[in-house]
Amino acid sequence: MPEDTALSSSQTVELFEQYVIGNYRRFPVNLVRGEGSQIWDSEGREYLDFFPGWGCNLLGHCPPRVVRAVQEQVAELIHVPNTWHMHSQGRWAQMLSERAFGKAFFCNSGAEANEAAIKLARIHGDPERYKILTFQGGFHGRTFGALAATAQPAHHAGLGPMLAGFSYAPFNDLEAARSAIDEQTAAIMVEPVQGEGGVHVGTSEFLHGLRQLADEHNLLLIFDEVQTGCGRTGKWFGYQYFDVQPDVLTLAKSLCGGVAGGALLASDAVASSLVPGKHASTFGGNPLAAVAGIAMLETIQREDLLTRAESNAQQFRNALQHLKQRCDHIREIRQVGLMIGIEMEFEATQIVQACLEAGLLINCTQGNVLRLLPAMNIEPEQIERGMRILSDVVCEAADKSVEPERTVS
């Protein structure tokens, strides 16, 4: 075992305090090993993970095919630049295209995939058109283009001026979207399900309406599927779940089964606008990411995980219904496949901490939405066990959140 993995959680926290920039709120836990939906810390404590890798580990921790593919590739060829051909990148693009459409550009993250989409929208078509319409509550990443696309004032605070050329409309409001389009608009960019924004699901009318608006005004329709992509919804891609065809699709998070990787897919007509010199990424589509991406898709296919995702989603749905009946302080439960938001009537971050103490990892977004992004291959027994923990913690927190009635003396 390498020396560092022997560090305790508190020793690791000390290292971070001294040497790592504190731009994340981190739990004081040193995670050292993962397998499927279980993960262990350096004290040997086991956790059940309902939020593996912040949505990246859609096959759970260390999926065997991905591990094997990377182990073999790393001894063969780690990196070559995109001035050469690599059969793994070509094969990966083919596999994505066969399951979605078009041609691929590869990068390393969700923000980078969206930057590529923003540039492509400006390059493609009429040079007078540069504006991109996005939606309030959306999240597209932290780089300046992706941040400007993210219509959440809290994320812009203190960073102005933002990149120009974005207009915003309320999510799920088709008329507002129509009004926000003008002769300089080039594209509409939308998450079919807003993830970080609180797991808000695009309505069928809205998403189909956006396709129609894009057609009427000759705009690109860009789906940001960084979170909904690669099986999360029970379909390969979220646009298939909603049956709305985009022109451009951006992917990252689970794309390479936990290894860093991002991609943009564009229909052939649109893809041809990205000519040499217009965009690039040094590490994009490197052999390690490519073989991991291929192994990810093969695992889903061979283990029939799209079907399994649906049955697991149904088990979550049933358990969540029971939880809602048991607890009055849940405002709403929103779920698409294995993307779940439980909106509480009160600030809910302490529920994440209480779950951690009880051995369950979950997330909270927007202050009051508990978010679960479980693995497709999570075991039914693990869902049952985790939902029992979650239900007890949520009900206890809800009881505490209620102000005791004042007695009048």
Q: Which is nearer to ligand PLP, 32 or 107 (CB)?
A: 107
Return the range that interacts with ligand PLP (CB under 6 A); candidates 66-74, 219-227, 358-366, 396-404. 219-227
Determine contact, residues 373/51, Cβ cutoff 8 Å: yes
Nearest to 183 by CA among 117, 230, 125, 131: 131
Please give the Cα distance from 325 to 336 (Å, whole number).
Answer: 20
| 32, 93, 111, 390: which one binds ligand PLP (CB under 6 A) | 111
| 141, 202, 258, 284: which one binds ligand PLP (CB under 6 A) | 141
Residue 383, φ and ψ in degrees, nearest 5: -60, -45
| 42, 57, 88, 109: which one binds ligand PLP (CB under 6 A) | 109
Return the range that interacts with ligand PLP (CB under 6 A); candidates 74-82, 87-95, 107-115, 311-319. 107-115
Radius of gyration of the chain from Cα atoms? 22
Q: Which is nearer to ligand PLP, 195 or 287 (CB)?
A: 195
Interface with ligand PLP, residue 115, by CB under 6 A: no
The CB-nearest residue to ligand PLP is 110
DSSP β-bridge partners for residue 340: 335, 372
Please give the Cα distance from 319 to 332 (Å, whole number).
Answer: 14
Interface with ligand PLP, residue 52, by CB under 6 A: no
**Cα distances (Å, whole numbers) of residue 387 to 39, 56, 58, 199, 342:** 17, 21, 18, 19, 12
First and final C-alpha spacing in the chain:
66
| 51, 139, 166, 171: which one binds ligand PLP (CB under 6 A) | 139
Closest approach of Cβ 108 to ligand PLP, in Å?
Answer: 8
Interface with ligand PLP, residue 257, by CB under 6 A: no
Q: Which is nearer to ligand PLP, 229 or 287 (CB)?
A: 229
Closest approach of Cβ 224 to ligand PLP, in Å?
Answer: 5
Please give the Cα distance from 156 to 147 (Å, whole number).
Answer: 7
Strands 46-49, 360-361: pairing kind: parallel
Interface with ligand PLP, residue 117, by CB under 6 A: no
Helices (H), 170-242: 174-180, 204-217, 238-242
Which residues in this chain contact ligand PLP in the complex, by CB under 6 A?
Answer: 109-111, 114, 139-141, 191, 195-196, 224, 226-227, 252
